[in-house]
Amino acid sequence: MNLPDYSPAPDGVDPSRIPSRKLPGGARIPGIGLGTFGSDHVTGEQVAAAVIGAASVGYRHFDCASVYSNEHLVGEALQKIVSGGVPRSELWINSKVWNDQHAPTRVAAACRKSLKDLRLDYLDLYFVHWPFPNFHPPGCTVESRSKDSRPYIHAKFMETWGAMEKLVEEGLVRHIGTSNMTIPKLKLLLGDARVKPAVNEMELHPHFQQPELYDFVVKNGIAPIGYSPIGSPGRPERDRTPDDTVDIEDPLIIGIARKRDLHPAALCVKWGAQHGQIPIPFSVTRRNYLANIQAVASEPLSADEMKAISRIDKNCRLIKGQVFLWKDNQNWEDLWDLDGTITT
Catalytic annotation, residues: 68
Q: Are 66 and 95 in contact (CB under 8 A)?
A: yes
DSSP annotation of 266 reads: H
Biggest alpha carbon–alpha carbon distance for the chain: 55
Task: Judge contact between 100 and 133, C-beta under 8 A.
Answer: yes
Cα 279 to Cα 224: distance, rounded to the nearest angstrom: 9
Rg (CA), the chain: 19
State the Cα–Cα distance between residues 223 and 281, nearest whole angstrom: 17
Alpha carbons 336 and 319: distance in angstroms, whole number: 11
Residues 344, 337: Cα–Cα separation, whole Å: 10
Decide: 264 and 247 in contact? Cβ < 8 Å: yes
Cβ burial 133-152 (10 Å sphere, 16+ → b, else e)? bbbbeeeeeeebbbeebebb
- What number of H helices and E strands is found in the chain? 10, 10
- Distance (Å) of CA 279 to CA 47, 75, 204, 267: 18, 22, 8, 12
Could you tell me how far CA 277 lies from the centroid of its own chain? 11
Beta bridge partners of 223: 199
What residues form DSSP beta bridges with 278?
225
> Letter for the amino acid at 114?
S
